[in-house]
Amino acid sequence: MQAAYIQANTNGKLHDASEPSISPLNRGFLYGDAIYEVWRTFDGVVFAWEEHWQRLQRSADALFMSGLFSKEYIFSEITRTCAAFRTKSGYQGELYIRLQISRGCGAIGLDTALADKPEFVIIVQPCFELR
């Protein structure tokens, strides 16, 4: 059985989520040094965008993650990723949207200063309702 299509966006590059896209030196992969947030759409609109973005910012502040992406840039990438998903899959229903931001890559070691720059991954798939 083939899995349903999932759209990904890694640092601005759109691709099938089944394709590898992060470095093995990514701190999110190595240490779980990352934050994430999940949205869904209602009537095609990202639900509670501002509230979830503020929670993501609080998570970043708690982990002393600085120099993250702007809210406007990430929203534009989410919009672009959703559009690419709809084009590729033909799906027009409600969407599940996941954003993960890591501190980035660098030499292996626990010191967070070893990270070069933040990286992000967005995934979009159908939002399946629980029944």
Q: pLDDT tens for residues 70-127?
A: 999 999 999 999 999 999 999 999 999 999 999 999 999 999 999 999 999 999 999 9
State the Cα angle at 88 between 3 and 1, rounded to 5°: 15
One-letter identity of residue 61: D
Element (H, E) at 75: helix 71-89
Q: pLDDT tens for residues 9-65?
A: 999 999 999 999 999 999 999 999 999 999 999 999 999 999 999 999 999 999 999
Start-to-end Cα distance in the chain: 23
Q: Across the chain, what does the average pLDDT equal?
A: 94
Q: How far apart are CA 59 and CA 53, in angstroms?
A: 10
Tell me the backbone φ, ψ of residue 126, rounded to 5 degrees.
Answer: -60, 145
Tell me the backbone φ, ψ of residue 103, rounded to 5 degrees.
Answer: -70, -20
Ordered by start, the domain boundaries in the chain are: 41-131
The CATH fold of domain 41-131: D-amino Acid Aminotransferase; Chain A, domain 1 (3.30.470)
